[in-house]
Copies of this chain bind each other. A is one copy, B any other.
Amino acid sequence: MKVPDKESILQAAERILPYINRTSVLTCETLNNMFQAQLYFKCENFQKAGAFKSRGACNAVFSLNENQLKNGVATHSSGNHAQALARAAKLRNTKAYIVMPDNSSKVKIDAVRSYGGIITFCIPTLEARETTLQKVIAETHATEIHPYNNYTIIAGQATAAKELIEDIPSLDYIIAPVGGGGLLSGTALATHYFSPATKVIAAEPEQANDAFQSFYSKKFIPSVNPNTIADGLRTSLGDKTFPIIVEHVQDIFTVSETDIVECMKLIWERMKIIIETSSAVTLAAVRNNSRLFKDKKVGIIISGGNVDLKNLPW
């Protein structure tokens, strides 16, 4: 396997086409006026299973042959990758073994179960997640599908930016959130191949700024127990995502916890769409860097909309 080329992103798009939504690109005149920019929101909150993760998961699962699939697929995830993988496995009539921390919210556990995922709980540390996953794989012989440090996953996530570029040509910027870097590296590759004049910017919580630190020091610096409300962005970059980001991403902007909550609420109130905390870092990056984005055409990847409606951050 190698870094996805143009052809493998085109193949991913074709492979997953029957199983995902071509999501809408929304605009909002109020936000455009407020930020003096033309903002184009690629709404992956409307994606199957509520997040862009369905793209990568479908590309990975539908790339496997019958032999690789026969014992199911496995991953550890407390979030959207778990749901997306469970759904993709169900579409191919195979099992999905999901290792989840035992403090995962009921909403997320129920969602994984609703797609038929088989959950093994573990204590909420990265080490326990990884050892539990290896134990599950040893017992089941399932094929591991890593949530982001996997080129097939990256090629799948790249299709979101590819669609955005098709729908809105000549964007000056595309902004994506960065956690493990699957979405960001896919976005950067798709932009490099399909709209090379467009610059890619990452948005990251200050309190989980491993990508920012790694990007500027040019060496991999992991997050240590990051504490951010943007729960999808607590993971650290991987050895496959980091080099792509260094090569193809223009800059990484960090945002505060207050920025995240305020911009999340702004999108809910003004656009009447439900986005998760991890998706709000992008608009916060625009708000904090208004001179850069003034009068520009800016694509914003809204990564997902899976929220516990009984536990909102305001």
- Listed in ascending order, the chain A residues whose CB lies under 8 Å from chain B are 24, 26, 45-46, 50, 265, 268-269, 271-275, 305, 309-310, 312, 314
Q: Which of B265, B269, B274 is in CB contact (< 8 Å) with A268?
A: B274
A309 — which chain B residues lie within 8 A by C-beta?
265, 268-269, 312, 314
Flag if A272 contacts B50 (CB, 8 Å): yes
What would 12 A/B residue contacts be, using CB atoms closer than 8 Å? A24-B24, A26-B46, A46-B271, A46-B272, A50-B272, A272-B273, A272-B274, A272-B275, A272-B305, A274-B274, A309-B312, A309-B314
CB distance from A103 to the nearest CB of B (A): 21
Copies of this chain = 2
Query: What is the CA–CA distance of A310 and B305 in the complex, to the nearest angstrom?
Result: 18
Question: Across the interface, which residues of B come within 8 angstroms of A275, CB to CB?
Answer: 272
Closest to A267 in B: B274
Closest 3 CB pairs of A and B: A272-B305, A272-B274, A45-B272
A45's closest neighbor in chain B, by CB? Answer: B272
Return chain B residues, CB-CB under 8 Å to A46.
26, 271-272
CB distance from A32 to the nearest CB of B (A): 13
Beyond A268-B274, A269-B309, A272-B274, 18 additional contacts (C-beta under 8 Å) are: A24-B24, A26-B46, A45-B272, A46-B271, A46-B272, A50-B272, A265-B309, A268-B309, A272-B273, A272-B275, A272-B305, A273-B273, A273-B274, A274-B274, A309-B312, A309-B314, A310-B314, A312-B312
- Nearest chain B residue, comparing its CB with the CB of A302: B272
Please name all residues of chain B whose beta carbon is closer than 8 Å to the beta carbon of A273 when the two chains form the complex.
272-274
**Bound CA–CA A45/B275 (angstroms):** 16
Q: Nearest Cβ distance between residue A265 and chain B, in whole angstroms?
A: 6
Report the separation of the CA atoms of residues A305 and B274 in the bound assembly, to the nearest whole angstrom: 11
* Bound Cα distance A269, B273 (Å): 11
Taking the nearest CB of chain B, how far is it from the CB of A106, in angstroms? 13
Q: How far is the CA of A26 from the CA of B273 in the complex (A)?
A: 12
Chain B residue contacts of A305, Cβ below 8 A: 272
**For the complex, what is the distance from the CA of A268 to the CA of B45, rounded to whole Å?**
11
- Inter-chain CA distance A108–B50, complex, in Å, is 30
A311 and B45 alpha carbons, distance in the complex (Å): 23
Measured in the bound complex, the distance between the Cα atoms of B264 and A309 in whole Å is 11
Q: Which residue of B lies closest to A308 (CB)?
A: B269
Identify the closest chain B residue to A28 (Cβ): B46
What's the nearest-Cβ distance from chain B to residue A218, in Å?
38
Tell me which residues across on chain B come within 8 A of A26, comparing CB atoms.
46
A218 to B179, CA, bound (A): 61
CB distance from A20 to the nearest CB of B (A): 11
- Report chain B residues within 8 Å CB of A314: 309-310
- A305 CA to B45 CA in the complex, in Å? 17
